[in-house]
């Protein structure tokens, strides 16, 4: 199970938002349109985690009955990784209140954060470890954090999956 590599399509990333967080309404609109699809930070994180020898599923529900999709899912170790966009999830460093429609954006942000907290609670109640990574975080550091959590939960007797081909 742990050696499964998702065949999730990574070939259609050309028109993704180039900036890692929103700096204008246009960018926000673009990010909104791209929500839930492969973003550059997601691809970078996947590659870095893959390079550390870990295999994972992409954009899956960790628990079928819980309608929440994690970005990287380690079924055996029960580790779910969410890569959170700085704007949509309220990164303390990069989230700045929008000048226009401030009430709307503030409500939206509060809704997202409440949902994130609920997702954590629901999955943790099922025995999962949830790791949240801001999209501005250093990719290699984040990947190292993920790998440490996965290997700790697998225990010392479980070996990492053998290297296969490159990330798909």
Selected range binding Zn ion among 1-9, 48-56, 129-137, 159-167, rule: CB under 5 A: 129-137
Q: Are 67 and 61 in contact (CB under 8 A)?
A: yes
Residue among 22 and 49 whose Cβ is closer to Zn ion: 22
Q: Which positions from 91 through 120 interact with Zn ion, judged by CB under 5 A? A: 91, 93-94
Q: Is 86 in the site for Zn ion (CB under 5 A)?
A: yes
Please, where are the H alpha helices in the chain? Answer: 25-34, 40-51, 86-89, 102-125, 139-154
Residue among 32 and 132 whose Cβ is closer to Zn ion: 132
Three-state DSSP state, 104:
helix
Selected range binding Zn ion among 26-34, 118-126, 134-142, 156-164, rule: CB under 5 A: 134-142
Three-state DSSP state, 157:
coil
Residue ranges in contact with Zn ion by CB under 5 A: 86, 91, 93-94, 134, 136
């Amino acid at each position: 199970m742990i050696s499964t590599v998702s065949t999730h399509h990574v070939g259609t990333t050309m028109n993704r938002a180039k900036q890692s967080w929103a700096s204008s309404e246009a960018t926000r609109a673009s990010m909104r349109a791209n929500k839930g699809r492969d973003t550059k930070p997601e691809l970078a994180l996947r590659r870095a985690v893959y390079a550390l020898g870990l295999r994972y599923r992409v954009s899956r529900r960790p628990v079928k009955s819980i309608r929440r999709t994690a970005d990287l899912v380690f079924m055996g170790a029960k580790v779910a990784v969410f890569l959170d966009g700085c704007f949509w999830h309220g990164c303390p460093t990069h989230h700045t209140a929008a000048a226009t429609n401030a009430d709307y954006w503030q409500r939206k942000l509060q809704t997202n954060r409440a949902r994130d907290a609920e997702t954590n609670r629901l999955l943790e109640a099922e025995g999962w470890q949830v790791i949240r990574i801001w999209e501005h975080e250093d990719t290699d550091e984040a990947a190292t954090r993920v790998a440490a959590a996965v290997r700790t939960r697998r225990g010392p007797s479980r070996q990492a999956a053998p290297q296969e081909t490159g990330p798909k």
